[in-house]
Structure 1
Amino acid sequence: MAYLWPEDLLSAIESGQMSPLEAFRKLREMENTSVSRDSASLQSSVEQRIETILRELDSLIGLTEVKKLVREIYAFIEIQKRREREHLNTEPMVLHMIFKGNPGTGKTTVARIMGKVFREMGVLSRGHLIEVERADLVGEYIGHTAQKTREQLKKAYGGILFIDEAYSLARGGEKDFGKEAIDCMVKAMEDHKDELILILAGYQKEMEKFLQTNPGLRSRFPIHINFPDYNKQELLQIAEQLCAKRQYQLNSQAKTVLLSLFNPPENNSDDNFGNARTVRNIIEKAIRRQAVRLIRKHSTTREELMVIEPSDLSGVEKCGNV
């Protein structure tokens, strides 16, 4: 006989159909079944949320190898958790990272997405991103740097501390306060290893030099991700995506003009190349030029208000020279 509610068990005891001991066992079975169902439902919900976040990553233009590596990190963490549940040996989950690449290649965006994934997986309690640079960490007198650095670290606990142009912390030599900031961060990585992930970001060549100045850093940051510059077609896709979000569109002639403006450097040779950031500046400037062109008309159609023409791109410098 199946009893679905505790009230049914109580009635069975009162009527003599079941002993108190049998009723207690049945109640425990019901509780275990309920917990198992709730756990399975919760796990399914978490997996769905993670997949939604990873689809956000997949929607980014280009970055094929970056996307592949992020999914590898996700798979590694998940399998280590499963091994732990089965009492198998696990690999240490040191998730501090180095992001190398030019500005506008998606480093901050990817870091923010990873924070969301780590939160859902229980690796981080909050998964938020605190973005800082040298000025936020380095003070002007002895002791000030440690104080400023600890304040930023405290804000990041439960999430990710993203340090842009991290190599600038080692530029001043032994007597520079930047070294104090590095020492403070290294200590936090040990003392708060379960509630903080550090990501050091910057130009590829500068980051390599930075790691050579402090050999101990490389072993503390086992994950290195290279963010390549976008090619011309990827830059055009980014431009079209930016336009679509603003309810604008490039006509075919404007696309041709835009492609001629894209002059990405080879092998990251131009440190001033802005990639997606530069494309955004071009589109925003084109939108303003379109407004100047259309304001002369007394009336405009819906299509005219949306279309970016070649003339709206005139006077814009090539991307590689911005």
Structure 2
Amino acid sequence: MKRRHLDMENGHDKQSSGSKKRKTIYDCAQSGDIDGFQKLLQDNPSLLRERNAFMLETPLHVSASNNKTEIVKFLLEWKGDEKVDLEAKNMYGETPLHVASKNGCNEAARLLLAHGALVEAKSKYGVTPLMLSVCQSSRAEDCSTVETLLEKNADCDATDDEGMTPLDHLSKIQESGKLSDLLVSRQKDQHNKKFLEACSKQKERMDALEKELSNIVGLDELKIQLRKWAKGILVDERRKAIGVKMGTAGIFPHMAFLGNPGTGKTMVARILGRLLLSVGILQTDNLKEVQRTDLVGQYIGQTGYKTREKIKEAEGGILFVDEAYRLIPEERSGRDFGLEALEEIMSCMDNGKVLVIFAGYNEAMQRVISSNEGFKRRVTNIFNFKDLSCEELANVLHIKMKNQKKDSLLHGFKLHSSCTVDALAELIKRETIKPQRMKLNGGLVDIMLNNAEGNLDFRLSDDCAERDELLTIKLEDFEAAMEALPE
């Protein structure tokens, strides 16, 4: 009974030892027996995803490779609970579209594409349907399937695992002819389209970068470098669009940001993450910010594990090591595991999985740079974040007011016309001293805004004020705010 049950499931029930073998679902798919096919499938819908023993092909593979369009159409429009898998792969990693293409089954290929089959699907060896179709068409002297695939924008520049394009495959068979002319002509059209798209994207991305850079005060050297990276990457995209084969990118541009707190190091790192994501260097704009306590353990064996876990969390994005100089204490008493954490980070910097940015005070960071021989080789971009001048601090204040997030306490507030950049710069210069500004930098702006908003609340009368009066911070509020600054 068990054997009979299995035979029935696979569509070949044996009535008796002497009776004629019943057709399987694959027999019907190959011969185009639509009546027999429908009956078998309606009796047992699970046959829809069944695989044959020889090539591990589904009924859709078999019917498509034999151009049995009536059965292909029936499968694609099947309404049962079981759904046909358009991208099912046989033992060679070929989809139904692959097998239809390599057998010159144009009508079947059209049906598959009309129902959403992936024209750029790749087999186990990276081969696309177009590559298979080109080889078949050159032998059959029939370009119809190639034309069908090209109508669906099959990529003439796609490469297999050996780096060969459809034209490369064709050149191994024939030098010229109708098929070659067709591919060359379509390739030119695709290059022109890709080139125009790349130009359009370049403008959009450069405009987006300039918008981001407008929120950075000072740091002209860094801005120039960011523009160079973005422009170089985007120009390479235009070269690829016209068929130029570009070399693979090197390791990530690991960096060190040197400067006092509040100079914008973390903000710039976040902007950098968005930039490098947009141009394809990073997989995500995720920035994982860590300090010594996140990396260093108390006992032998803890540090390596903790550091590797943080690196893993940052994969595809940026690992931002803040106050990195704390990994190398000035005075070493007993065993310190900071150097172990630094070496663990160094070991991951060549694998192309994470971009590392070290940040900290200028002088203190020199200990980190000199403590590891591989640091200078791996960290190829070192940027100095200078302390902000009074004018720059005033500009930062204006930018922050302009870009308040919806969940910010100051969202909806605005500056009075008296709060010009010049007026605020003069106030900061008059009411602060240089060591105070160096210690706080951008942090000074946050204190000024919070204190000014508090003074606004205090000076408002008990009478119901108008909306503008409730939300407008005046210069006198900032003057009062300066009196509460930390020493």
Same fold (TM over 0.5): yes
| Match of residue 175 from structure 1 | 335
More helix as a share of residues:
1
> What is the aligned-residue identity percentage?
30
Q: Confirm or deny: 8 A CA contact 2:391 2:425 kept in the other structure.
A: no
What CA distance in whole angstroms lies between the structure 2 residues aligned with 1:43 and 1:254? 41
Query: TM-score with structure 2 length normalisation?
Result: 0.54
Return closer, same or farther for 1:197/1:233 CA change in 2, 3 Å cut-off: same
Return closer, same or farther for 1:315/1:282 CA change in 2, 3 Å cut-off: closer
**2:394 is aligned with 1:236:** yes
Structure 1 residues 243-252 or 34-43, which shifts more?
A: 34-43
1:134 Cα deviation from its structure 2 partner = 0.9
1:241 Cα deviation from its structure 2 partner = 2.7
The count of residues paired between Structure 1 and Structure 2 equals: 301
Structure 1 residues 85-94 or 233-242, which shifts more?
A: 85-94
Structure 1 residues 146-155 or 226-235, which shifts more?
A: 226-235
Residue type matched to 2:470 in 1? Answer: L
**2:209 is aligned with 1:54:** yes
1:39 Cα deviation from its structure 2 partner = 4.5
What CA distance in whole angstroms lies between the structure 1 residues aligned with 2:390 and 2:314? 36
| Match of residue 364 from structure 2 | 206
1:303 Cα deviation from its structure 2 partner = 3.1
Within 5 Å, give how 1:29-48 maps onto structure 2.
29-30=150-151, 31=154, 32=156, 33=186, 39-40=194-195, 43=198, 46-47=201-202
CA radius of gyration, larger in: 2
1:63 Cα deviation from its structure 2 partner = 2.5
What CA distance in whole angstroms lies between the structure 1 residues aligned with 2:357 and 2:250? 18
What secondary structure sits across from 2:297 in the alignment?
coil
| Match of residue 281 from structure 1 | 447
1:75 Cα deviation from its structure 2 partner = 3.3
Structure 1 residues 54-63 or 148-157, which shifts more?
A: 54-63
**2:317 is aligned with 1:162:** no
What secondary structure sits across from 1:199 in the alignment?
strand
What secondary structure sits across from 1:273 in the alignment?
helix
Unaligned stretches of 5+ residues in structure 2 = 1-105, 111-139, 157-185, 405-410
Return closer, same or farther for 1:152/1:24 CA change in 2, 3 Å cut-off: same
RMSD (CA atoms): 3.4
Query: 4+ runs of 1 displaced by more than 6 Å?
Result: 80-85, 88-91
Within 5 Å, give how 1:1-322 maps onto structure 2.
21-30=142-151, 31=154, 32=156, 33=186, 39-40=194-195, 43=198, 46-47=201-202, 50-60=205-215, 61-78=217-234, 86-87=244-245, 92-171=250-329, 173=332, 175-190=335-350, 193-244=351-402, 245=404, 246=411, 247-252=413-418, 256=423, 259-262=426-429, 263=432, 265=434, 273-294=439-460, 296-313=461-478, 314=480, 316=482, 322=487
Q: Confirm or deny: 8 A CA contact 1:132 1:164 kept in the other structure.
A: yes
What secondary structure sits across from 2:261 in the alignment?
coil
What CA distance in whole angstroms lies between the structure 2 residues aligned with 1:179 and 1:99? 19
Q: Confirm or deny: 8 A CA contact 1:133 1:164 kept in the other structure.
A: yes
Unaligned stretches of 5+ residues in structure 1 = 1-5, 11-18
1:195 Cα deviation from its structure 2 partner = 1.5
Q: Deviations over 1:170-190 (max 9, x none)?
A: 115482110110111111123
Higher RCO, 1 vs 2 (CA within 8 Å, ≥6 residues apart): 1
Q: Confirm or deny: 8 A CA contact 1:127 1:159 kept in the other structure.
A: yes
Residue type matched to 2:148 in 1? Answer: L
1:222 Cα deviation from its structure 2 partner = 0.5
Residue type matched to 1:312 in 2? Answer: D
Query: TM-score with structure 1 length normalisation?
Result: 0.79
Q: Confirm or deny: 8 A CA contact 1:105 1:276 kept in the other structure.
A: yes
Q: Confirm or deny: 8 A CA contact 2:387 2:438 kept in the other structure.
A: no
Residue type matched to 2:229 in 1? Answer: I
Q: Confirm or deny: 8 A CA contact 1:253 1:309 kept in the other structure.
A: yes
